[in-house]
């Protein structure tokens, strides 16, 4: 087959794809009109998670596929995002400004059709959603190098909002600047988390430069763009937005560096069969109290993926425990375990159940 013939077939397939997408949108519009409640469920984030699993299964059955899974997910994410606005346009608050990793995580979760609004702090994201100025919010909760994001955990403990989804983003940190080489850099800006993730690299390569904290990686890039001799640790997107050059790529101390983000809203998600539940609990001040709680989950056959302590807000030196477990709060084993834990603990707060990212 000649090149012209192959090109003609590709163009024909493109026309067929557009026709199919129009047909999908028409069916979604009809569902919104005929059964709004079912439409809301079908166009929700948990439906997106199920769609991505179907895409993975379809890709796995085609050994000759040339499109990588990430590319397929990106295509179907935008299809779902475009159809979702037939019901409502999500207004999504994120820890900004534009160009931060949280901004990227929000875009990858909700797609380009959502309406995005930035907040300059993590508590600001919570306030926007609590006031109804946004339908959902996206905030970082955990980094594979530095652990939990304490301000997010504290906000979750104090807020009425629920966790309704999560996203995991590979973090590639870059040194960006107008400067052309390392010796001319006199100051480095970034958010405290990325600075901690690059501590060893900075000590080895930029020990002569002063290190300054910024409210976000994007704000750090803006400072680097306006300050002679300055650089920022930020994303490539931030560098592009602020007209900076990437001097070094991948300056994080660990090559495998990922951040987990959570989506917050007024309600959590429906069961999907591949879920996670997050909660806080406080044990009584008795010997073996924590062991007793952990045994409850073990007896119910529930896998715990994370547990850590945080200072409580009621009394000095009192602590609460944050926990992630596999399963939905409506799954019978999880429901039984939570009921037993509530009977044994002084405080239990379920933050929500939601589809696992992986």
Active site residue 259: yes
For residue range 152-206, list pLDDT tens digits in order: 999 999 999 999 999 999 889 999 999 999 999 999 999 998 999 999 999 999 9
Q: What percent of the chain has pLDDT over 90?
A: 55
Q: What is the pLDDT of residue 28?
A: 80
For residue range 115-157, list pLDDT tens digits in order: 999 998 999 999 999 999 999 999 999 988 888 999 999 999 9
Active site residue 261: yes
pTM score, whole prediction: 0.81
Predicted confidence (pLDDT) at residue 53 exceeds the cutoff of 80 = no
For residue range 242-255, list pLDDT tens digits in order: 999 999 999 999 88
Q: What is the pLDDT of residue 208?
A: 94
56 pLDDT band, cuts 50/70/90, is low
Q: Using H for helix, E for strand and C for coil, what is the string for the chain?
A: CCHHHHHHHHHHHHHHHHHHHHHHHHHHHHHHHHCHHHHHHHCCHHHHHHHHHHHHHHHHCCCCCCCCHHHHHHHHHHHHHHHHCCCCCCEEEEECCCCCHHHHHHHHHHCCCCEEEEECCHHHHHHHHHCCCCCEEEEEEEECCCEECHHHHHHHHHCCCEEEEEEEEECCCEEEECCCCHHHCCEEEECHHHHHHCHHHHHHHCCCCEEEECCCHHHHHHHHHHCCCEEEEECHHHHHHCCCEEEEECCCCCCCCEEEEEEEECCCCCCCCCEEEEEEEECCCCCCHHHHHHHHHHHCCCCEEEEEEEECCCCCCCEEEEEEEECCCCCHHHHHHHHHHHHHCCEEEEEEEEECCC
Give me the catalytic one of 109, 135, 259, 277. 259
Give me the catalytic one of 110, 261, 297, 321. 261
For residue range 255-313, list pLDDT tens digits in order: 888 999 999 999 999 998 899 999 999 987 778 888 999 999 999 999 999 999 988 77
Predicted confidence (pLDDT) at residue 101 exceeds the cutoff of 80 = yes
Predicted confidence (pLDDT) at residue 316 exceeds the cutoff of 70 = no
Predicted confidence (pLDDT) at residue 45 exceeds the cutoff of 80 = no
């Amino acid at each position: 087959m000649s090149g012209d013939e192959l090109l003609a077939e590709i163009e024909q397939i493109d026309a067929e794809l557009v026709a199919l997408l129009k047909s999908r949108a028409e069916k979604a519009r009809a569902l919104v009109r005929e059964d709004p409640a079912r439409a809301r469920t079908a166009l929700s984030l948990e439906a997106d998670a199920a769609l991505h699993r179907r895409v993975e299964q379809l890709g796995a059955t085609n050994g000759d596929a040339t499109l990588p899974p990430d590319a397929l997910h990106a295509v179907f994410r935008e299809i779902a995002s475009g159809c979702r606005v037939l019901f409502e346009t999500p207004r999504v608050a994120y820890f900004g400004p534009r160009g931060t990793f949280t901004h990227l995580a929000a875009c990858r979760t909700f797609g380009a059709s959502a309406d995005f609004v930035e907040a300059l702090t993590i508590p600001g994201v919570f306030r926007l959603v609590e006031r109804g100025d946004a339908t959902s919010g996206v905030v970082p909760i955990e980094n594979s190098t530095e652990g939990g994001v304490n301000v997010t955990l504290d906000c979750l403990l104090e807020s009425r909002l629920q966790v309704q989804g999560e996203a995991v983003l590979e973090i590639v940190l870059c040194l960006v600047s107008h400067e052309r080489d390392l010796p001319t850099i006199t100051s480095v800006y970034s958010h405290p988390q990325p600075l901690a993730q690059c501590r060893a690299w900075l000590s080895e390569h930029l020990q002569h430069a002063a290190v300054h904290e910024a409210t976000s990686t994007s704000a750090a890039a803006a400072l680097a763009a306006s300050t002679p001799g300055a650089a920022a640790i930020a994303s490539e997107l931030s560098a592009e937005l602020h007209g900076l050059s990437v001097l070094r790529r991948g300056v994080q101390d660990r090559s495998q560096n990922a951040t987990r983000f959570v989506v917050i809203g007024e309600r959590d998600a429906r069961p999907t069969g591949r879920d996670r539940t997050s909660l806080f609990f406080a044990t009584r001040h008795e010997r073996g109290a924590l062991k007793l709680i952990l045994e409850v989950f073990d007896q119910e056959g529930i896998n715990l993926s994370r547990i850590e302590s945080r200072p409580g807000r009621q009394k000095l030196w009192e602590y609460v425990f944050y926990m992630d477990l596999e399963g939905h709060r409506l799954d019978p084993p999880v429901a039984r375990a939570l009921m037993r834990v509530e009977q044994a603990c002084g405080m239990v707060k379920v933050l929500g159940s939601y589809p696992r990212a992986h």
